[in-house]
Structure 1
Amino acid sequence: MRVLEVFVVFLRLGLTSFGGPVAHLGYFRTEVVTRRAWLSEAGYADVVALAQFLPGPASSQTGFAVGLLRAGWPGALAAWLGFTAPSALLMLAFAVGVGNLGDVGAAGSLAGLKVAAVAIVAQAVAGMWSSLVTDRVRVALALGVAALLVVLPGAVWQVLALLACGLIGWRFLPSAHATAGHLPTVPVSRMTGLLLIGLCGAGLLALPLLAPLSGGWALLEATYRAGALVFGGGHVVLPLLEAGFVPRFLTHGTFIAGYGAANAVPGPLFTFATYLGAAQHALSPVLGALLATVGVFLPGLLLMAGALPFWSALSAQPAARAALAGVNAGVVGLLLAALYSPVFTGAVRGPRDLAVALAAYAALTAGRLPAWIVVLGCALLGQLVL
């Protein structure tokens, strides 16, 4: 029953989560912390912090970890499948020409969905701030990280900022008062974790040797390498995918067309690889899409499952809890910076957009409406007035 519950929750998230990985983390928090209490606020922040340190798609890794903690390996698979399948199927359909999306970036409904993401992320930042930023040191860490990342965006600076927050938390936050993550029991042993991390590294070494054998191996290698080497997820994966696919498998124009569609569908942007796998001509569209989807997500999920038992054990140590308290404050700052750019700057183009964003925030907080209703309402309002 837990597995089915996880699948239904993440399927709904996969159908309604627009706005990129940071917005996804806001949607996840609403469902798994606020509405269902599967994790505590600090426990959820611990998972998000681990996802930020690892290469791969941060929001998909977070969802995978939540499913794993909630319902074991079947729950992890259910969470990933539910969240990924809607956008993957849409990208496959676009690649084979089912439907003519036209200029998806100009659609009013898409503008409304982007505005909804502003409200979702703002709610997540406010909720996490009240729980995790509780003294002057953590206020300084959160605002300092936000200020740094607004000026210097990028995955490298994110990782460095969180590492610095961990050191400052370890030095200046009393461990006796640091908030423990209280993660549920991780259903992965440390030995299994080491094997999973080793398997991820083995794939990175072995697939380049297999790539010359067939188009399928080459496709799998290109997507696996992109998923294993990208920090920050989302749009950061695009240059690696372009290097692997253009011009070997498809033209630059075909690549860009898929990128436009990927920004118009819910769920993880990594399903752009699904489109690329379906659009190439070395294999059938369905087989190519399947290989590309598995390839781009697999390394990040292996790393998350492999690292989680060590992360969970580390968070039980008093000194580590102090460090994690600093990291969690930094995560709030990271989300605050992302709320400004790219979420706010990419969605709010004028007074009407701002008015819809404020109304959506009021509906989420004062009105306590479910996030999916607010998202659909913003899409409809965007089609009418934006």
Structure 2
Amino acid sequence: MDASRPSSAQRGRLHVALEVLMVFLKLGLTSFGGPIAHLGYFRREFVAKRNWLDDPRYSDLVGVCQFLPGPTSSQVGFSIGLLRAGWLGGLAAWCGFTLPSVLLLLAFAVLAPHLAGNLGEGLVHGLKLVAVAVVAQAVWDMARRLCPDRRRAAIALCAVATLGVLNSAYAQWSAIVLGALLGFALCRTLPPTQTAASTSGPELRISRAAGVLALLLFCILLIVLPAFARSHATQALQLFDAFYRSGALVFGGGHVVLPLLQQQTVTTGWIASNDFLAGYGAAQAVPGPLFTFAAYLGWMMSSPPNHWAGALIALVAIFLPGMLLVIAALPWWQSLRARRTVAALLAGINAAVVGLLATALYSPVWTSAVHTPVDFAIAVLGFVLLVRWNTPPLAIVALCVLAGVAMAAFR
């Protein structure tokens, strides 16, 4: 037998991984509506339709990923790929779900500089108004879900106050750490994290040794990489560090990445504020995970690496910490979620990120987009349609862009 030819078992694994890739590619092309909607699509596809896993195991996977920082829907998809086809399946799931959104946003990045005149100005302004409505909806939903009592509402207000007083690169870090400390002090009477999962947990092909290695790599990159990037001062390393730290601190949903990325890219002068908000608005119009906004930012960097290199570095860096944490947590999830101290820390962090996102709603989102009473009316209309009528985000994008173009045409 020719040793260079793949065995039947290897061909079988490749076939299953290819199946995973095609299924997630379809989801990447059609999954509009944000992470909560994505989880609904996943359940329908993998539990109800394909029977790849049952409801208890799916609920357990969702519980793991909601507990951790990172993009929840991408982490769940990666875990399903692991369950179905091992490491190659996890990679196939991530690629299939992520690449359609990436390519659409890069197409917008290529076209954006050529959108001149009233049409281009109106389009960009409309996308900035989309960002106002979408971020306001995220603040509203997260505040109701993550700050349901006075203690957690107070933690969110403390985070807002911290961000109002501090004006440094460590302001977001400080708010999150403060939230964790206040959660530990005030929220230990809350019940530990629960899911409807079975006690056996997900049977994923991850050993505890692999989990430990993933956690060590996550910590090394988070702690050592900033100092290494400063000492070597290469733009590529600084770019990787900035997006890695942003991805490592995203608790509570994809929209929370907005203030972190704004701090890392706009404040540092890497990205113009108008380009940042236009891209964020465009990210609402494409399917797939919101974290692919990082690829757009990497493309739009003012100095190399940018374009394809910048997009690839930013994309890998922002997704990597969430995936490492999933690999690290899965072997211990059943015992970890039952600890009251962990539940308290997580409650405080989640409340703090509500304050983080509320501050970002004011600046840069509101201050850069709402300049006239008409702007205010359009933003409020978009917010109400999202919150009360459950209007698809794509329809809000169309409404705001048309309004922006119309205002520019009659200016």
RMSD: 4.6
- Seen in structure 2, the aligned counterparts of structure 1 residues 157 and 79 have a Cα distance that, compared at 3 Å, is farther
The CA deviation string for residues 271-307 of structure 1, in whole angstroms up to 9 with x for no partner, is: 3222238x54xx8xxxx53332232333443332222
Aligned equivalent of 1:304? 322
TM-score, normalised to structure 2, is 0.62
Supply the distance in 1 between the matched residues of 2:172 and 2:315 (Cα, whole angstroms).
18
Supply the distance in 2 between the matched residues of 1:302 and 1:367 (Cα, whole angstroms).
35
- Seen in structure 2, the aligned counterparts of structure 1 residues 219 and 262 have a Cα distance that, compared at 3 Å, is same
Supply the distance in 1 between the matched residues of 2:338 and 2:187 (Cα, whole angstroms).
7
Contact 2:77 2:94 in 1 (8 A): yes
Pick from 172, 177, 183: which aligns with 1:155? 172
Shift of 1:150: 1.3
Pick from 223, 226, 231: which aligns with 2:239? 223
Contact 2:300 2:307 in 1 (8 A): yes
| Pairing 1:373–2:395 present | yes
Shift of 1:339: 5.1
Percent of residue pairs bearing the same amino acid type: 15
Supply the distance in 2 between the matched residues of 1:98 and 1:351 (Cα, whole angstroms).
29
Counterpart residue identity of residue 390, structure 2: R
Pick from 32, 38, 42: which aligns with 1:32? 38
- Seen in structure 2, the aligned counterparts of structure 1 residues 118 and 99 have a Cα distance that, compared at 3 Å, is closer
Supply the distance in 2 between the matched residues of 1:70 and 1:162 (Cα, whole angstroms).
31
The CA deviation string for residues 23-80 of structure 1, in whole angstroms up to 9 with x for no partner, is: xxxx5233124565579899757635522xxxxxx5xx44431321343411122233
- SS of 2:239's equivalent in the other structure is helix
- Seen in structure 2, the aligned counterparts of structure 1 residues 164 and 37 have a Cα distance that, compared at 3 Å, is farther
Shift of 1:196: 4.2
Aligned equivalent of 2:129? 112
Supply the distance in 1 between the matched residues of 2:336 and 2:244 (Cα, whole angstroms).
32
- Which segments of 5 or more consecutive residues in structure 1 lack a partner in the other structure? 17-26, 52-57, 247-251
- SS of 1:263's equivalent in the other structure is helix
Counterpart residue identity of residue 161, structure 2: V
- Seen in structure 2, the aligned counterparts of structure 1 residues 264 and 108 have a Cα distance that, compared at 3 Å, is closer
- Seen in structure 2, the aligned counterparts of structure 1 residues 162 and 88 have a Cα distance that, compared at 3 Å, is farther
Bigger radius of gyration: 2
Kindly tell me the number of residue pairs found equivalent between the two proteins.
Answer: 332
| Pairing 1:274–2:284 present | no
**For structure 1, which segment, 70-79 or 360-369, has the greater mean C-alpha deviation from structure 2 after superposition?**
360-369
Aligned equivalent of 1:363? 385
Contact 1:166 1:323 in 2 (8 A): no
Contact 2:65 2:75 in 1 (8 A): yes
Alignment of 1:226-245 (within 5 A): 226-230=242-246, 231=249, 233-234=257-258, 236-237=260-261
Shift of 1:149: 1.5
The CA deviation string for residues 305-336 of structure 1, in whole angstroms up to 9 with x for no partner, is: 22214334554227745345435544553454
Contact 1:169 1:322 in 2 (8 A): no
TM-score, normalised to structure 1, is 0.65
Aligned equivalent of 1:146? 156
Supply the distance in 2 between the matched residues of 1:5 and 1:121 (Cα, whole angstroms).
28
Aligned equivalent of 1:124? 141
